[in-house]
Amino acid sequence: MRIVVWGTGYFANEFVERKSYHLDDEIVAFVDNNKNVWGQKFKGTDIIGPKRLQQIKFDQLIICTTKFEEIKEQIQKELLIDADIITYFDVEDNIKNQLISKYNSIQNDEMQKVLAYYKSHSLNVFGCYNNENSDVVYPVQYDMDGMPYILLEGKRMFFPKSYPFAQDNNTVYVKNILYEQGKHSPHLYIKDEYKIKKDTVIVDAGVCEGNFALRYIDYAKKIYLIEPDPEWIKVLKKTFAPYKDKVVICDKYLSDKDTNISITLDTLIKEKIDFLKMDIEGYEVSALEGGERVLKESNAYCAVCSYHKHNDEHKIKDLLQCYGYKTDTSDGFMFFPYDNYIEFRKGVVYGKK
């Protein structure tokens, strides 16, 4: 189907990035009332003015802004275009209904709990999980160099200056950064009663701003921070400067081979590890393949994200079991909208010996 997207802001960007929202569709143009962007490209496709719509053949127009009624009236009354018009939120409802239909007959208590939630709520990538502390916010402060940071459990955690902070009146803040780490979350790294003990060797792969590592830095004998994004590397060095004697920062991608931009766990780590957290955007399987020695030699608690790719749960389980680990999964289910599958997935696979 040939579609036109109205808008070039947040919702338009999300619509394009969420591949499952337009699996069989061709985006032929983006429309915007802002004449300053006409003739430019958005996500590789032309941005046009509203009047150009009359010259384009399309099957559906998707309004990706919050001003739906105003824009619909503009299309129908000013431009006199009779088109199939829906919103970004209609697309989400359609995806939600597809998931309900797909899994409705499956007799699984966790699955049915998610479906019951979906029937009375909007689409939630975390299934039926909703942290009761979701309103917690962290005010942003600035150091002498103008670098933004928040206080996380009394420790300064820095962010890039370009970070898209939330803002309310004169307050700049970060929304609850630990939202998905609540009890029963499908994205929870430490499940049940497991406790990180004193003098633990921790591997944090996919560090981002470093909230996981920072929370446990006082318990760590050594902590490996693996993060290939140069923007995050810069601020991680500031965040973990007070702990530099026990922190190893690696700015390469984890993989099953060593190159100028990637490294294996077996090459990076020569000692036994106690805890492995891995959240690396779908490269978890190849990273585990590159860690056979260290994982076989260690008696580690593993928390490996499995929601980024189709069938990764089973591949990750197979690898960990091959290395001598018993496996389990996080509670509930997640829906990952950024690839070509409309399906529920387990968020995290756990391994322990």
Write b or e for each residue in 246-269: b if 16 or more Cβ atoms lie within 10 A of its Cβ, otherwise e: ebebbbbbbbbeeeeebbbbbbbb
Specify the residue for token string 């580690």. Answer: 300
Find out whether 17 and 74 touch, Cβ atoms under 8 Å. Answer: no
The mean pLDDT value for 28-49 works out to 97
Q: Which CATH class is domain 2-92?
A: alpha beta
Superfamily of domain 181-352: Vaccinia Virus protein VP39 (3.40.50.150)
pLDDT at 194: 84
Specify the residue for token string 């560090």. Answer: 207
What's the Cα-to-Cα distance from 141 to each of 69, 176, 239, 350, rounded to whole Å?
Answer: 39, 16, 13, 36
Same fold, 2-92 and 181-352: yes
Residue 121 has pLDDT above 80, yes or no: yes
Residue 111 is encoded by which pair of tokens?
């699955």
Q: State the Cα angle at 209 between 207 and 211, rounded to 5°.
A: 80
Q: Which of 139, 144, 117, 140 is nearest to 129 (CA)?
A: 117
Question: Domain extents for the chain?
Answer: 2-92, 181-352
User: Where is average pLDDT lowest: 31-35, 37-41, 130-134, 315-319?
Assistant: 130-134
Question: Phi/psi of residue 172, each to 5°?
Answer: -105, 130
pLDDT 10s digits, 248-302: 999 999 999 999 999 999 999 999 999 999 999 999 999 999 999 999 999 999 9
- Tally of CA atoms within 13 A in the half-sphere of 222 that contains its CB: 10
> If pLDDT is split at 50, 70 and 90, which confidence band does 41 have?
very high
Q: Which of 81, 64, 86, 57 is nearest to 15 (CA)?
A: 64
Residue 2 has pLDDT above 80, yes or no: yes
pLDDT at 134: 76
The mean pLDDT value for 192-198 works out to 86
pLDDT 10s digits, 128-186: 998 777 788 999 999 999 999 999 999 999 999 999 999 988 899 999 999 999 989 99
Residue 82 has pLDDT above 90, yes or no: no
pLDDT 10s digits, 220-233: 999 999 999 999 99
